[in-house]
Amino acid sequence: MNKIKWLAILLPALSLGGCQGEPSAGQEEVSAVQPPLKEALPGTWESVSIRVDVNTAENTDSSYVFEVKEEEWAQRLGSRPIRFYFQPDNKYRQEFTALSGEVVSATRGMWNTFGDTLMLIEPNATYRYQVATGKGLAEFRTMMDWDGDGQEDDSYLSVHRKISIAAD
């Protein structure tokens, strides 16, 4: 399976879980002067990076870090950065696009916020992230079962950049 299809299937599916994890350095400073998440979110956001700290799986010493930075995105994942389109009426879509510009996969649903928690609700799944915004960026954090060992013990962080106030 190619990398874009893998991401299209695994990234949303593995995002189930709680919103735990330590805040990043400076997160309190960034989010303290920001508008509420419900006001900051509408628009178009593009992925900048993904980092997953995978804990020990199945009682083995298999901890590792999966990380993709902005400058590595095309080479490592074979796709353009993921885009989120958050509409003011609480609808959203997420698009996975090939390097050629073809949309390979898209998901749609409803979004809502509760303080710093973002809920993405699709027909067959609900995803929950703790979100901090500031300086045109948003950090999405959650705990998930990235490695498929049945334990939601892997720390997920994705960073997104707001590229438009419109969600077209």
pLDDT at 151 over 70: yes
Percentage, residues of the chain above pLDDT 70: 79
- Cβ atoms < 10 Å from Cβ of 88: 11
pLDDT at position 64 is: 87
Task: Calculate mean pLDDT across residues 83-93.
Answer: 97
Residue ranges per structural domain of the chain: 3-164
Please determine, looking at this structure, whether the domain spanning 3-164 carries the CATH number 3.40.50.150. Answer: no
Check whether 159 has a pLDDT greater than 80. Answer: yes
Written as six digits, the tokens of 90 are 């609480």
Q: Are 15 and 156 in contact (CB under 8 A)?
A: yes
Band the pLDDT of 88: cuts 50, 70, 90: very high
110-113 contacts at long range (C-beta below 8 A, 24 or more positions apart): 111/41, 111/86, 112/38, 113/36, 113/37, 113/38, 113/41
Q: Which two tokens stand for residue 84?
A: 């989120």
The confidence score (pLDDT) of residue 33 equals: 66
Q: What is the pLDDT of residue 58?
A: 63
Residue 10 has pLDDT above 60, yes or no: no
Where is pLDDT greater, at 2 or 119?
119
Output the CA angle 125-42-143, nearest 5 degrees: 40
Report the predicted TM-score, pTM, of the whole model to 2 decimal places. 0.77
Q: In the chain, helix, strand, coil percent, each to 5?
A: 15, 45, 35
Per-residue confidence (pLDDT) for residue 36, from 0 to 100: 93
d(CA 30, CA 39): 15
